[in-house]
Structure 1
Amino acid sequence: MAEAASEADEAPKKKTKLPLIIGLVLMLVLGGGGFFAVFTGMILGGGEPPAPTTPEIVPEAIPDIAFIPLDPMVVSMQGTAARHLRFTAQLEVSKAFVADVELLKPRVMDVLNGYLRAVDAKSFEEPGSLVRLRAQMLRRVQIVTGEGRVRDLLVIEFVLN
């Protein structure tokens, strides 16, 4: 019995925290190593990242065009108030048709003058009116010059006083 009492008197052995500390250190080392391996591309990276490529921009060739300036026009508008429209434009044509369109320039001016005089001044106040008017004028110019000669009508000045 004496032996049993002496064993009871001895303090129970303390559990050591050494395995817990070793586990935490191993966890940090392995976590850091895993992060390093993924970050540098050793794992899941597939080698070096592809170099960023920028597509090479090749400009298109400028079409074979010429611009024919039209004489500035001052058109008196319809309505009760005396309003005037100052209009200047250029025609975009293929270089092969420059002489043909230059020859028909007085007819083009006549068509544009007649059309602009017939347009009501109130229609200029609508949003998008210039786009609509430009399309109408281009169509009339294309009818006068013949299909395929005039590519576009560029409005240079469009001022309503």
Structure 2
Amino acid sequence: MAEDTEAPTKKKGGGKGLIIGLALALILGGGGFYAVYSDLVALPLPPANAAPPPEKLAKAEAEAAFAALPRTAFAPMEPLVVSLGAGSAIRQLQLVAQLEIEPSAAEAIAALQPRIRDVLTTYLRAVSPADVEDPAALLRMRAQMLRRVQVVTGEGMVRDLLVSEFILR
């Protein structure tokens, strides 16, 4: 019975497994380093002189294009309502537009608004109702109106006439 009461003894031998584990870790680590260093295995890293990703290029190009744009301002015009001739089903034309101008010309354009409205009203009254009904008429009329506004304001002050609404009633 004396044999049954003895405490179980611990096994030795845990040090041998630790030494084998360390040796394997060093060998595998060294082998992995050599494989990467000698380009046997490529790491998923971008090359040092690689171009930036397309998203960054697109953003940089957009910023450069925006910086290259000439500075501009917009001068809103009050809506123009013009009566058309009696020979058409269309009785009125309503035009809402903005002028694309040089930022330095904003005060001068504001002072010339009555002249600009007059020249546009006069032109629109002279247009025949048949011309207004043509789908391609807006392009021709816009070019004509822009030219007339540029004559009134002087060259270089107004870059474009932007039509917001063109309503035939």
TM-score (norm 2): 0.61
Letter in 1 for 2:122: G
In structure 1, the partner of 2:97 is 89
**Structure 2 residue aligned with 1:142, among 133, 145, 150?**
150
1:116 aligns with 2:124: yes
| Structure 1 residue 145: Cα displacement | 0.1
| Structure 1 residue 115: Cα displacement | 0.2
In structure 2, the partner of 1:54 is 54
User: Once the two structures are aligned, what percentage of the paired residues are identical?
Assistant: 49
Q: How many residues align?
A: 111
In structure 2, the partner of 1:68 is 75
In structure 2, the partner of 1:103 is 111
Q: CA RMSD in A?
A: 1.9
The 8 Å contact of residues 78 and 118 in structure 1, kept in 2 or not, is answered as no
The 8 Å contact of residues 75 and 86 in structure 1, kept in 2 or not, is answered as yes
Partners of 1:115 and 1:79 in 2: CA distance: 17
Partners of 2:135 and 2:165 in 1: CA distance: 17
Q: Any idea what SS the aligned residue of 1:151 has?
A: strand
Q: Any idea what SS the aligned residue of 2:85 has?
A: coil
For structure 2, the residue ranges without an aligned partner over 5 or more in a row are 1-49
Q: Which moved more, 1:140-149 or 1:97-106?
A: 97-106
Letter in 1 for 2:74: F
| Structure 1 residue 73: Cα displacement | 1.2
Partners of 2:94 and 2:161 in 1: CA distance: 16
TM-score (norm 1): 0.64
Specify the structure having the higher radius of gyration (Cα): 1
**Structure 2 residue aligned with 1:126, among 125, 131, 134?**
134
